[in-house]
Amino acid sequence: MRKEKIIVMMLMTTIIAVTLITSIQARPIETKLRYFVQDVNQDVFNRGFPVRNNWGAAQSFKVNVSELSHAQIYLRKFGNPDFDLRVELKENGINGTLLDVDIFSPGSINSSWNWLSVDFNNISVNSNSTYFIVLSPGTGNNSYGYEWGYAFGNVYDDGSFWFTRDGGDLWRDLPTRYDFTFRTFGYI
Ligand SMILES: [Ca+2]
């Protein structure tokens, strides 16, 4: 009698264990997998556009990622700027929602052409919106500032070259003429 009880208990334990293992294996994986990718790669560079006293520059773009980690902009400084380079990320318009700001001191920018990394802190983005990398207009005089590289022609279809020459009161785009030199990165 005692032997039968032990066998029944062992059998039940086995059934419970098998049931548990099966249910764990059958449970769907809930962890969302994130893949880091380079999104936009507009690396054509023909000339530099000056960000200096009252002059600012911007490039609109689309995303194929769900989070933006950072951008790279092809840039150098000229002369000895006395103002910081202010880089903004905006959504849906040159004067749209401000999503992030990065500030670079003149000392942190090279005088030779380089890719400058702009951190966007993994901001949530979507493919229906248009985003803008905006280099705010500078101050002082025209003998110093920063230059953002750009390409001749519409080499990037999903966005446009924008500029201001009056401190940002009026921004104009030249969609068929140029595109700035930039890259974006994030997680899909
Ligand atoms: Ca374009």
Question: How far is Cα of residue 73 from the mean position of the Cα atoms in its chain?
Answer: 11
Confidence check: pLDDT of 10 > 90:
no
Q: What percent of the chain has pLDDT over 70?
A: 86
| Residue of 169, 97, 154, 173 whose CA lies nearest to 129 | 97
d(CA 188, CA 30): 16
CA of 24 to the centre of ligand 1 (A): 50
CA of 59 to the centre of ligand 1 (A): 8
pLDDT band for position 5 (cuts 50, 70, 90): confident
Taking the domains of the chain in order of start, what are their residue ranges?
Answer: 36-187
Between 53 and 22, name the one with better pLDDT.
53
CA of 173 to the centre of ligand 1 (A): 10
CA of 175 to the centre of ligand 1 (A): 5
168 neighbors 138 (Cβ within 8 angstroms): no
Question: How far is Cα of residue 127 from the mean position of the Cα atoms in its chain?
Answer: 13
* Cβ burial, residue 51 (10 Å; 0-12/13-18/19+): buried
Per residue in 138-176, pLDDT tens? 999 999 999 999 999 999 999 999 999 999 999 999 999
Q: What is the pTM of this model?
A: 0.83
pLDDT for the residue numbered 1 = 55
116: helix, strand or coil: strand
CA of 114 to the centre of ligand 1 (A): 22
* Residues recorded for the chain: 188
CA of 158 to the centre of ligand 1 (A): 6
Confidence check: pLDDT of 22 > 80:
no
d(CA 43, CA 155): 10
pLDDT for the residue numbered 12 = 73
Per residue in 72-82, pLDDT tens? 999 999 999 99
Per residue in 108-139, pLDDT tens? 999 999 999 999 999 999 999 999 999 999 99
Between 126 and 22, name the one with better pLDDT.
126
Class of domain 36-187: mainly beta
pLDDT for the residue numbered 27 = 57
d(CA 156, CA 142): 29
Put residue 39 in one of left, alpha, beta given phi > 0 → left and psi -120 to 50 → alpha: alpha
Confidence check: pLDDT of 38 > 90:
yes
| Residue of 55, 138, 154, 67 whose CA lies nearest to 103 | 138
Confidence check: pLDDT of 2 > 70:
no
Average pLDDT over residues 2-18: 68
pLDDT for the residue numbered 34 = 87
C-alpha distances in Å from residue 115, one per residue of 75, 147, 182 = 6, 12, 8
Residue 187's beta-bridge partner residues? 36, 67
Give me the chain's average pLDDT, please: 92
166 neighbors 54 (Cβ within 8 angstroms): yes
Neighbours of ion ligand 1 (CB under 5 A): 154, 156, 160, 179
